[in-house]
Amino acid sequence: MGFWRLIGFAKTTFYSHEESLPLNTKASKATTLLDLCKSVTPPCWLNPFLLNGHLQTCWTILTRQNPLVYYKRTVLAAEDPAFEGTFTVDFVVPPYEDADPALPPRTTYFTRGNLESLGKDDDKPMLVTLHGLSGGSHEVYLRHVLVPLFRDGWEACVVNARGCAQSKITSDMLFNARATWDIRQVVKWLREIFPRRPLFGIGFSLGGNILVNYLGEEGDQCLLEAAVVCSNPWNLDVGSIGLQNSWLGLHLYSRAMGANLKNLFELHVKQISKNPRINVDKVRSIRYLHEFDRELQCSTWGYPTEGAYYRDASSCDALLAVRIPLFAIHAEDDPVAVKEAIPYQEIQQNPFAVLCTTRLGGHLGWFESGAGRWFAKPAIQFLREMAFTVDLAGCRHERHTRASQEEKPFSGDRAFDPMRRRLRTQAP
């Protein structure tokens, strides 16, 4: 064990295309996406007592850190009949005293007309957030980002995966790792009701995987200006094998995630069991994450095996089609989103993406000695720089120009299409 690890220092390493995306500031200063990401990333000093990825990851359960966020919830009906049902979006709002025992703490529903009063004509930057597996807007890790930004004048919302955060489902489908349809609908809707707000995205863990898939599907037409992903599992097939090949991976992490998903299933079993392909007894008998995906996700979405589902849902190839600035943050000792699944080569093929890895940090951990979590610092500062320093109009022009001048690398008889999918995700 190295000296630097003993004192809590985690080396950071950056990966990018050799010609990273050129950016201009509003003061007409030229820079690149790589240089911007480096400039917003402070040295990574973590709690020296949490000296490996397991301790950093497990500390999430034990810590009492609890930055408070208040939400107002709205319910949206899916526009695409292929993905029928409802889902919820929680908007960050100033503190209030009401409570709803049927919802997570500090969360109540919008009353009629309240949503429209949020400021349709303002030009505040707005962050769209995707949480991790079976989580929701109540998760502490995402609040470490939302609290400082909201205090700075940002607006923000969290798109809750179907069935999560004490939301009800009205069809027989939960979320899955390919579920880009709800984030697509939300972004379009936000653009309509807040036409002057620049929109940004952040995704955590499985939410990061969904976000990158969405960015790849949208390409240069994406309505977001820039995005951040933290602890994205990237290659779900490799990640699943990694979890199953270690005792802690299988019996601690995979078992815990499987238990969380079984609890979620039980909350919504009445609706889900309306799907005749779901064997309720088999779902109830599972112990591990991959078994849950085999019995529920494959049966719901028509995949023959969980491996087929993981390969189709992975975002490592979608990364190649991303055409907005993307900053990815990942710990090399992450025991859940394992290092072997990180798409280093794909990052280096796309000038719109930069990856920062840290030697330590665990899965959505990065606990510092004080009350902070390191990942929030580069994520927040990147978003601030993109919103207030970078010339966004120029950035949009650059990406559309590149798209019009790009050779079509994904067309032809012998070309690779990073967005090939077995499961349709958009209306034809």
Residues designated catalytic: 205, 334, 363
Indicate the SS3 state at residue 321: helix
User: Counting Cβ atoms within 10 Å, is residue 427 exposed (0-12), middle (13-18) or buried (19+)?
Assistant: exposed
Maximum C-alpha span of the chain: 63
Q: Are strands 86-93 and 70-77 parallel, antiparallel or unpaired?
A: antiparallel
Residue 110 DSSP symbol: P
Helix (H) or strand (E) holding 15: strand 12-16
Residue found by looking up tokens 């299933």 in the block: 265
- Cβ of 133: how many Cβ atoms within 10 Å? 20
Going by the DSSP 8-state scheme, the letter that residue 373 receives in this structure is B
Which amino acid, residue 324? I
d(C-alpha 154, C-alpha 338), whole Å: 32
The residue type found at 365 is: G
> Helical H runs in 79-180?
140-151
